[in-house]
Structure 1
């Protein structure tokens, strides 16, 4: 072999080794290799992020925007600002959008009245855009004002990287020049992390959202000339083509800019997960990538009881009590501490006491909260949370195990005398 050939061979071998190393690193750093521009997987109980890819980048979110519209409608229902049986007529704007059958729509009529329930179901099941605009107008008087409410609520919920320009998630160019905010070709933007946070908040505050989100199909205005079958765009509902065990929500979305998006939630036994996929390549891809995320979560994480109810930390089994019949009282967990953890990592969690007070003053009631017990993770993975209170959700109350009555007058005097002589003895010892 000539010298030049030998160098060429060594160069080729080196190149292959580098390529192999980079490939291995890529697979290790992103074991799921999600085929989407952004994705995230979250534990719904704590907001702990189990997987993320490009999750902070604001992207077009298409009809996933309607999760925020749903939030505002459900909030108004719960505040009795509107009711499900309230009726509304349809504006020219909502009517014109509803007649565009190239978009998701149930055709609405100007001379008809529709209940809030009818319009909400059309939005949540069929992603009907005209119905969404009609709801926005009912709640805020105009879509322009509703968009202001959307942006204010998003900020209140803790979202950070977002811009809402309409209630539907459509591109403004599809709104006949009547778009409420933004430029003529603007779309709603949010990061995968913010979209997951929005899903988390609506599940926490209005879990009834799933009552409609989980309906696989329903007829809009049955037994009328306007009857139209609404098939849920969430094809991962168990009854549909990409059916997945436990999925009961939440919202798909697609536009030319957004690609194919999906915010999903699934529950199996005591575990509920939230996933978001943004800008995948096709209808099928968004469901296949969602399946990857959920499979990863359900297969690799489990809810495990780390500490039972009544557990006392050996280093802090009790607290001192002033002016009581006894001078100490036991403290223990009020209920079990159960967390979603990676399988096999239970030994990486250490119980840690966080006290609200260093001592109590009698009278003390049994079950009085004195702090919290948290499980501090000491393993190799750095877990993030969607919300600042995420770690607090992974804790349980520490409470007193007994009642301590206030001491009588004579006992209090004796306690003070003992305390004085104890202090005096310490001072004398300090002299030698």
Structure 2
């Protein structure tokens, strides 16, 4: 879907108005799951297909979910060989102050101490360490201000359209003790729409699936066995043995600030199917921001994906009575058709009874009279089995939008008949039409 991109240069007044405009009566919003939040979306992580949504294009605060973009840029830098997991970073004064500031989510970092990229990455992903995120921004780009530029460029590269990144951690700039990144305003906030958070999550999982090994870690010790040993507890309460445990959950990132409310980008996989969910500013039954509700509302979305959406399967005989087609000028009069696998598609239960498929012959295989023409090779593409869908599917990225189809092949070869046989047939056809 085409949307207007909100860039970093937006005035604070406009941003504040946009944020407040979505704070009205959002309880039991008009989505299939009636999710209770300012915005939400559920996406199939394999196809990018939108399964459920509410207010998905609205630019809203994302708090520490900002770290997902920092994760992407760190993993990309690792992948391209620009940095290594074993590289060390010596804590700057800015990072020291923000990593030890009261009231902020952190793993304490010591002034002048050297930490590996891996240690900082795990502190950021598992414990949502703000100081660790800022440290990593300095590792990748030299300064947080330069890193913010990379964040916004990467957002555009990934196809995001409603976004504004102003720091690497997700803190409100005014909470950064006057050390917010150069080029940003003290009142700036990280803001992204629900659909674009799902787009970021889609790319993060697709491009760097190893992120789930860290985001799915329930607990981990920071610098175990040293005098800095610190037990990091994952902020995701849907992981195993946690209060809102959800089977298959292994990511991705929570966020909480007064501006953004309680947010969560979740993901879970069951039986080979993975979904991505985004909740922005979850609300309780009284319409108040609620940390617990981001997990409760996420459960609603994921339950709908896993239970309310099923896999429909179609075979060639669902489209044609006989799995053969006549062949002009062949030694045999017909060719048998086949598919390598059935056409499978996930769709809501209520749509399954109305779903149907069509067999479309490849026009390039037909002669001027609309007939299949010999010779035909075994395995040659004859056409496609295509899902007929009265409802237009939506995807988080335009380029992911495609017909649901499988290729139909020739099950055997049909050689071209010799000249004598073809002539005899043509004579027979002529007299047959004459009489």
TM-score normalised to structure 1 length? 0.79
Q: State how 1:141-160 maps to structure 2 within 5 Å.
A: 141-160=142-161
Partner residue, 1:373: 385
Partner residue, 1:288: 296
Partners of 1:353 and 1:370 lie apart in 2 by 10
Partners of 1:82 and 1:363 lie apart in 2 by 57
**For the Cα contact (< 8 Å) 1:321–1:359, is it kept in 2?**
no
Offset of 1:183 from its aligned partner? 1.4
Partner residue, 1:17: none
Residues 244-291 of structure 1: per-residue CA shift (max 9 Å, x gap):
122111110011100000011112223322211111212112111112
Offset of 1:163 from its aligned partner? 1.1
Offset of 1:346 from its aligned partner? 2.3
Offset of 1:74 from its aligned partner? 2.0
**For the Cα contact (< 8 Å) 2:180–2:186, is it kept in 1?**
no
- Most deviating of 162-171 and 85-94: 85-94
Partner residue, 2:345: 339
Q: Does 1:386 align with 2:396?
A: yes
**For the Cα contact (< 8 Å) 2:318–2:357, is it kept in 1?**
no
Offset of 1:359 from its aligned partner? 1.8
**For the Cα contact (< 8 Å) 2:99–2:108, is it kept in 1?**
yes
Offset of 1:90 from its aligned partner? 2.8
Partners of 1:370 and 1:177 lie apart in 2 by 64
**For the Cα contact (< 8 Å) 2:107–2:129, is it kept in 1?**
yes
The one of 245, 249, 272 equivalent to 1:247 is 249
More helix by share: 1
Q: Match of 1:396, SS?
A: strand
**For the Cα contact (< 8 Å) 1:265–1:275, is it kept in 2?**
yes
**For the Cα contact (< 8 Å) 2:120–2:133, is it kept in 1?**
yes
Q: Match of 2:82, SS?
A: coil
Partner residue, 2:20: none
Partners of 1:117 and 1:341 lie apart in 2 by 40
Q: Match of 1:194, SS?
A: helix
Partners of 2:100 and 2:422 lie apart in 1 by 84
Partner residue, 1:237: 239
Q: Match of 1:338, SS?
A: strand
Q: Match of 2:402, SS?
A: helix
1:356 to 1:191, Cα distance in 2 relative to 1, 3 A: farther
Q: Match of 1:392, SS?
A: coil
1:209 to 1:365, Cα distance in 2 relative to 1, 3 A: farther
Q: Rg larger in 1 or in 2?
A: 1
Q: Does 1:172 align with 2:173?
A: yes
- Most deviating of 226-235 and 73-82: 73-82
Offset of 1:403 from its aligned partner? 5.2
Residues 310-354 of structure 1: per-residue CA shift (max 9 Å, x gap):
768529967899999879865543322221111253232222356
Residues 60-88 of structure 1: per-residue CA shift (max 9 Å, x gap):
11111111221222223333333322333
1:28 to 1:113, Cα distance in 2 relative to 1, 3 A: closer
Partner residue, 2:22: none
Q: Match of 1:385, SS?
A: coil
Q: Match of 2:86, SS?
A: coil
Q: Match of 2:37, SS?
A: coil
Partner residue, 1:182: 184
Offset of 1:56 from its aligned partner? 0.8
Partner residue, 2:308: 300
Partner residue, 1:272: 274
Q: Does 1:350 align with 2:341?
A: no
Q: Match of 2:120, SS?
A: helix
The one of 194, 203, 206 equivalent to 1:204 is 206
Partner residue, 1:39: 40
Offset of 1:165 from its aligned partner? 1.2
**For the Cα contact (< 8 Å) 1:312–1:332, is it kept in 2?**
no
Partner residue, 1:22: none
Partners of 1:369 and 1:69 lie apart in 2 by 45
Q: Does 1:222 align with 2:224?
A: yes
1:127 to 1:325, Cα distance in 2 relative to 1, 3 A: farther
Partner residue, 2:67: 66
Structure 2: tracts of 5 or more residues without a match: 1-26, 283-288, 367-372
Offset of 1:292 from its aligned partner? 1.9
TM-score normalised to structure 2 length? 0.78
Q: Match of 1:95, SS?
A: helix
Partners of 1:93 and 1:354 lie apart in 2 by 63
**For the Cα contact (< 8 Å) 2:267–2:276, is it kept in 1?**
yes
1:161 to 1:354, Cα distance in 2 relative to 1, 3 A: farther
Partners of 2:109 and 2:210 lie apart in 1 by 26
1:114 to 1:45, Cα distance in 2 relative to 1, 3 A: same
